[in-house]
Amino acid sequence: MAAFKTLDDVDVAGKRVLVRVDLNVPMDGGQVSDDTRLRAIQPTLNELAQKGAKTILLAHFGRPKGKRDESQSLKVVVPALEKTLMQDVAFADDCVGEAAEAAVAKLTPGDVLLLENTRFHAGEEANDPDFAAALAKLGDLYVNDAFSAAHRAHASTEGIARLLPAFAGRSMQAELEALTKALSDPERPVVAVVGGAKVSSKLDLLGNLVERVDFLVIGGGMANTFLAAQGLDVGKSLCERDLLETATEIVAKAKAAGCAIVLPVDARVAKEFRANAENRVAAVDDVGADEMILDIGPKAIAEVAAVFAQAKTLVWNGPFGAFELTPFDAGTVAAAKTAAELTEAGKLLSVAGGGDTVAALNHAGVADQFSYVSTAGGAFLEWLEGKDLPGVAALTATK
């Protein structure tokens, strides 16, 4: 990855700094119900205020489809943002034009201004050059602290970065550094865990990882498709029968690339998909026609732990089983705890991401012990798939 500039490379005092942030926070009854995303941008915003920048926040909220829609106004986020930042936050009810320009003109060093939802303008998602220029006009510098939006080439994530001196915020910087250490320039051996429901949703991911990692541990529902491809009967398990050939091709590609594929040798099976369903441990060649695999079994758990113990770097996306249903969370929880212990002991760099993966690590109570947990969802997956993220590419382009 080409080098990107950070807040260490610029003097922001007295400057108008446009900062792209992720304020797409969950709301409940008009209140922000989870402030994780606000806490993620706090270091950047506090640092800018402390250094005397005039901070102007750009963000999208919901999907207003390019038109003003008061129900998707960012104004509701202001109180929670003020609380997190421990300072007043001004609000302008448009992100370009007179309202925005007047609000920016009022700023003094250390102030923070939030501009209305960028997606109230069709030019945002279209990455329209005129709209990007109207945004850029409001500032002297651009900082992107929204890795989670970096897989979209929108005006506030990509277009604007090509018009102003552009820098990565602290949260963006941490994400890029963690992902680079994990996959672009890792300490070997590298183990990747890919789990979750379906092979079909993670084909690009599997294809990219087999070329880059030393061990690919496949868990979750998607392991069933690989087991079936080997001719095993997986009973009523979630299985994509139309992808058996694809699974075989992935295994062949892995072999050619020197990547060892680790599939479960045993499983926890049940006849019903529900919490506390009657269940048993079965070898993968002993699954009944009326049974389904809902988690990896104890032998597989031990094998995963042994693979982790040999590795220096772990990249993890997707749970090992239906972790929302006890006791089928056992494989995911055990693997998460093993990775957390190895990380705490300084033996492993562990990076994880994905909506359900983050939920599973929180459920296991070990998210804080991982080296890095990405909450970026789609952007994290596209990175693992080896795709160029437009928002990141624009930051690293030479200007």
> Using the rule CB under 5 A, is 377 a contact of Mg ion?
no
Single out the catalytic residue among 110, 355, 377, 386.
Answer: 355
Which burial class, exposed, middle or buried, applies to 183 when counting CB atoms under 10 A from its CB (0-12, 13-18, 19+)? buried
Distance between CA 108 and CA 330 in Å, rounded? 54
The DSSP secondary-structure symbol of 270 reads: E
Site residues (CB under 6 A) for ligand ADP, limited to 111-170: none
Per-residue contact string for residues 301-340; x = within reach of Mg ion by CB under 5 A: ----------------------------------------
Stretch that binds Mg ion, among 181-189, 198-206, 253-261, 355-363 (CB under 5 A): 355-363
In terms of Cα–Cα distance, which of 194, 214, 217 is closest to 317?
Answer: 194
**AA identity, residue 352:** A
Residues in 285-304 that interact with ligand ADP by CB under 6 A: 293-294
- Our finding on whether 321 is near ligand ADP (CB under 6 A) is yes
Taking CB atoms, the residue at the shortest distance from ligand ADP is 196
| Residues 2-31 interacting with ligand ADP (rule: CB under 6 A) | none
* Identity of the residue, 81 or 322, whose beta carbon is nearer to ligand ADP in the bound complex: 322
Q: Report in angstroms how near the CB of residue 185 gets to ligand ADP at its nearest.
A: 24
Partner interacting with residue 293 (select from ligand ADP, Mg ion, none; CB below 5-8 Å by kind): ligand ADP
Q: In 85-204, where do the E strands start and end?
A: 90-92, 112-115, 141-144, 166-168, 190-194
Please, which residue, 24 or 87, has the CB nearer to Mg ion? 24
In terms of CB distance, is 221 or 391 closer to ligand ADP?
221
Q: Is residue 118 left, alpha or beta, with left meaning phi > 0 and alpha meaning psi from -120 to 50?
A: alpha
Q: Which does 186 bind (CB under 5 to 8 A by kind): Mg ion, ligand ADP, none?
A: none
Angle at 318 between CA 317 and CA 320, to 5 degrees: 130
338 Cβ contact list (under 8 Å, min separation 6) = 304, 305, 308, 309
∠ CA 319-320-321 to the nearest 5 degrees? 95
- CA 282 to centroid of chain Cα atoms: 34
Q: CB-wise, 49 or 182, nearer to ligand ADP?
A: 182
What track of x and - describes contact with ligand ADP for positions 344 through 363 (by CB under 6 A)?
Answer: ----------xxxx------
Q: Number of residues interacting with Mg ion: please give it, by CB under 5 A.
A: 2
Confirm whether 378 is a catalytic residue: yes
Residue 37 is a catalytic residue:
yes
Note if 355 is an active site residue: yes
Structure tokens given for 273: 């998909």
Q: Which of 319, 350, 351, 391 binds ligand ADP (CB under 6 A)?
A: 319
Task: Assess whether the previous peptide bond of 327 is cis (omega < 30° from 0).
Answer: yes
How many residues make contact with ligand ADP (CB under 6 A)?
Answer: 17
Cβ distance to ligand ADP smaller for residue 31 or 201:
201
Query: One of 37, 51, 119, 202 is an active-site residue; which one?
Result: 37
User: Which of 115, 8, 110 lies closest to 52, judged by CA?
Assistant: 110
Q: Helix, strand, coil % (nearest 5) of the chain?
A: 45, 15, 40
For residue 32, report the phi and psi dihedrals to the nearest 5 degrees: -70, 120
Under rule CB under 6 A, residue 235 binds ligand ADP: no
**Site for ligand ADP, rule CB under 6 A:** 196-197, 220-221, 238, 293-294, 317-319, 321-322, 324, 354-357
**Site for Mg ion, rule CB under 5 A:** 355-356
